[in-house]
Amino acid sequence: MRRGAGAAIVAPAMQEAPPPAGAPVTWVVSDGKIGMENQCRGLAAALGVAPVVKRLRIRAPWRWLPPQAWVSPLSAPDPAGDTLAPPWPDLLIATGRQTVAPALAIKRASPATVCVQIQNPTIGLDRFDLVVVPQHDRVRGDNILVTEGALHGVTKARLEAAAATAREGVDHLPRPRIAVLLGGDNKVFRLTSAVADRLGRDLATLAREHGASLLITASRRTGAEALAAIRQHLADLPVVVWAGEGPNPYLAWLGLADAVVVTEDSVNMVTEAATTGRPIYVAALEGGSAKFARFHQAMREAGISRPFDGTLDAWSYTPPDDTRRVADEVRRRMGRTLEAAAE
């Protein structure tokens, strides 16, 4: 399970167990980018529904065209992925550019379906029942719900359960224990060798000066060279590194952490780390964008994060609860839709 893994693509989904009698039939529709799909799954979990997951593979020429140019959206998915066909769901939760036109086509075919789009679809905003965007995206409107960061399925209960399974394996490590969440290259950031060397030095400084241990988990985007450059500075320190073998202890490390260091390339990872209520330090990479800058500025102003420079301090904050808030709004809108359908 990899959070904030950028454009990592997963295989076509196996359908989950059907929802219990009386529960709304819910589809999660994505283009297979796991970091985005996890936002949809997190919302479904907060709603208490077991979704049918639809991962689309879009055929040419549709995958090259903007959503408004799709002539027959429901014919666009390649059979190698999941198909879209009736009976339509009661609730559709979608994310990703290539899901926009199919989601709107389902809404046209089934007006009673409550259609929720996560992230700015760039077109047809008023055609969705609800559009969920982070505050660093400046889109606003009557049917737009603004969140502090990314939606997710990380809860305190899940962190505690994951921590319980891993606690025995880290009991020998000194405290404070620092979870280190490494991302890497994406469309706007680069984890270069120079950045990796600096980050390794800063982590070593933190461990030595504060008697801390490090619980490190790396993304597929981190890269072997960058991870090696970081690890060379930590050879004589109390460090546990997960580099891709066996189950990812991501949730366990967060549940066990006294503080978190996370690279700045992932809104998902920073937002999930904030579930802990622990101090979050954000490590700079090369590059960036205006949207990322606005997100990190908002996290700092909210007292959630600070820039990482090898120092360690203590502070607290109320963890954001965006996923629950969005779930409450979806329930409200579904109730309104079901009442209208019954009239």
Low-confidence ranges of the chain (pLDDT < 50): 1-17, 338-343
Asked whether the CA dihedral 312, 250, 187, 27 is positive or negative, the reply is: negative
pLDDT in tens, 106-127: 999 999 999 999 998 888 888 9
Q: Are 322 and 147 in contact (CB under 8 A)?
A: yes
Q: Is 259 left (phi over 0), alpha (psi -120 to 50) or beta?
A: beta
Looking at residue 20, its pLDDT comes to 54
Q: What is the DSSP letter of 242?
A: E
Place of tokens 């930590």: 234
pLDDT in tens, 280-310: 999 999 999 999 999 999 999 999 999 999 9
Q: Which domains does the chain have, with CATH numbers?
A: 26-148+323-342 (3.40.50), 156-307 (3.40.50.2000)
- Residue 284 identity (one-letter amino acid): A
- C-alpha closest to that of 37 among 82, 87, 71, 104: 82
Q: How many residues does the chain have?
A: 343
Greatest alpha-carbon pair distance for the chain in Å reads: 70
Report in angstroms the alpha-carbon separations of 239 from 46, 172, 174, 208, 279.
34, 11, 10, 12, 19
Q: How far is it, in rounded angstroms, from Cα 307 to Cα 324?
A: 28
Q: What is the pTM of this model?
A: 0.84
Looking at residue 18, its pLDDT comes to 52
- On average, the pLDDT of the chain sits at 88
Give me the phi and psi of 111, to 5 degrees please.
-55, -25
Looking at residue 339, its pLDDT comes to 47
pLDDT in tens, 173-213: 999 999 999 999 999 999 999 999 999 999 999 999 999 99
Looking at residue 9, its pLDDT comes to 28
- C-alpha closest to that of 263 among 32, 9, 33, 5: 5
Looking at residue 209, its pLDDT comes to 95
Q: Are 254 and 272 in contact (CB under 8 A)?
A: yes
